[in-house]
Amino acid sequence: MSAAAAPDAVRAAARVAAGAAESLTGRGLNASYRLVEAGVPYAVKVHCAERSGAVVAARIRRVDALLRGTPWYPPLLDLATVRGDGRDHLVVVRPYVPGDASDDARAQVPDVMDVLAELTEGARNTAVDDALVGDYATPWLADAERERARVAPLLTGAWTELGRAVDARLPSTLAGAARLTRAGAVVVHHGDLHGRNLITDGAGRFTVIDWDETGFSRRPADAAKALWLSCRQGRGDFVLDPAAVRDFLRALRGRVGVPYGQAADVARLGAVWFLPRREHIDLLTRRGAELGPWYLGWIGRFWARYAENAALVAATAAELDAAVREGR
């Protein structure tokens, strides 16, 4: 595919606005499109105005410079801020990746680990501006009281039990995230790494898509989120598969270097992503009135099953660690 033939971001945005691009379904905050130009398909991402600032653009460009040429990474073809609907939107153009996402993310655990290993190494010995460092745990670790107070008005009525579950787990969850934070080292952060964002073609090759939230992290945030999204028995629910958890933790230790003794904290860090943030709920609701309640119900199922799932992760890690110590 020739990058020279790619439409620039301004032209791509104009074609999207004119209805000349195929809208791709999804519940994310940003809008995705498939645009064909001169017979070649391209992926166009139109970020919501709230996620279209200069820092977001700088993160995308910096990660692209580090990962360009990696077989599973779709390179940035163009990026620009475009005015639309009276607001500025970041528009990103990349090659369109044909293929299929797995309906069972457990099958993608080996591929996820390949990516995690390369992302862990991707920023080693690389200087990264602090403004480009941040992940889903950052706002909670910076000011948990503020984040909880902002979402409090929404966690009433049908969502009262969700609020209680969040309050019960918040201190230990954030403590685990803090223990995994390494002030002197950063890793490349995808932001939403799981099986549905690994597209496989007929020849068995895979590509990682959806780099909307990319940047850098001082924690194994991608691995922690992937634990929950790659090891569940089915989409839309949160019952972890014991065999998948075992395979994930083994690979996490062998490929990424996360010891079994940190597995419980990895689960806690990943759980931070399921803490309801007012900003996220407001943006979802703005995109579709039904998305706010859908999201609260979804994370409600996560927290309803959290205790048993976290216990499974901890027990599996202890068993694997004991086997290593005994030479089994």
* One domain, residues 241 and 120: yes
Closest CA to 270 of 318, 308, 295, 302: 302
**Residue 9 belongs to a domain with what CATH number?**
3.30.200.20
Could you give phi then psi for residue 278, rounded to 5 degrees? -60, -40
* One domain, residues 78 and 137: no
* One domain, residues 171 and 295: yes
Mean pLDDT across the stretch 305-313? 97
Of 46, 64, 95, which closes a domain?
95
Which of 39-43, 283-287, 296-300 is least confident?
A: 283-287
**Degrees to nearest 5, angle at CA 147 with 229 and 287:** 65
Decide if pLDDT at 309 tops 80.
yes
Mean pLDDT across the stretch 316-323? 96
Predicted local confidence at residue 102, as pLDDT: 75
Of 34, 62, 95, which closes a domain?
95
* One domain, residues 178 and 312: yes
- Cα separation, 155 vs 163, in Å, equals 5
Assess contact for 34 and 21: CB atoms under 8 A.
yes
Decide if pLDDT at 66 tops 80.
yes
Mean pLDDT across the stretch 196-225? 90
Assess contact for 37 and 170: CB atoms under 8 A.
no
Decide if pLDDT at 49 tops 80.
yes
* One domain, residues 44 and 140: no
Task: List pLDDT tens digits, range 241-268.
Answer: 999 999 999 999 999 999 999 999 999 9
Predicted local confidence at residue 76, as pLDDT: 97
Mean pLDDT across the stretch 222-231? 95
* One domain, residues 194 and 306: yes
Q: Which two tokens stand for residue 76?
A: 């940035």
Q: Which residue has the tokens 């950052």?
A: 138
Which of 66-75, 248-257, 268-277, 319-328 is least confident?
A: 319-328
Alpha helix (H) residue ranges in 180-305: 221-230, 242-251, 263-272, 278-287, 291-304
Predicted local confidence at residue 122, as pLDDT: 85
Question: In terms of pTM, does the model score above 0.85?
Answer: yes
Mean pLDDT across the stretch 177-185? 92
* One domain, residues 76 and 214: no
* One domain, residues 90 and 121: no
**Residue 263 belongs to a domain with what CATH number?**
3.90.1200.10
The domain total for the chain is 2
Decide if pLDDT at 137 tops 90.
yes
Cα dist from 85 to 17, 79, 89, 216, whole Å: 10, 19, 9, 31
Adjacent-strand bridge partners of 100: 200
Mean pLDDT across the stretch 50-71? 95
Predicted local confidence at residue 327, as pLDDT: 82
Assess contact for 209 and 98: CB atoms under 8 A.
no
Decide if pLDDT at 3 tops 70.
no
Decide if pLDDT at 224 tops 60.
yes
- Containing structural domain, residue 59: 3-95
Mean of the per-residue pLDDT values of the chain: 92
Mean pLDDT across the stretch 182-200? 88
188-197 as b/e, with b when 16 or more CB fall inside 10 Å? bbbbbbbbbb
* One domain, residues 41 and 162: no
Predicted local confidence at residue 1, as pLDDT: 42
H helix or E strand, kind and range, residue 100: strand 100-101
* One domain, residues 33 and 84: yes
Task: List pLDDT tens digits, range 165-180.
Answer: 999 999 999 999 999 9
Predicted local confidence at residue 5, as pLDDT: 66
Could you give phi then psi for residue 159, rounded to 5 degrees? -105, 15
The more confident residue out of 135 and 100 is: 135
SS3 318: helix
Decide if pLDDT at 93 tops 50.
yes
Assess contact for 244 and 231: CB atoms under 8 A.
yes
Q: Which residues contact 2 (CB under 8 A, 6 or more apart)?
A: 40
State the greatest distance between any 2 C-alpha atoms of the chain, in Å, as a whole number. 65
Predicted local confidence at residue 2, as pLDDT: 45
* One domain, residues 112 and 32: no
Could you give phi then psi for residue 106, rounded to 5 degrees? -60, -30
* One domain, residues 194 and 316: yes
Of 64, 80, 95, which closes a domain?
95
**Degrees to nearest 5, angle at CA 270 with 66 and 247:** 85
According to DSSP, residue 255 is labeled I
Quickly count: other Cβ atoms within 10 Å of residue 64's Cβ: 19
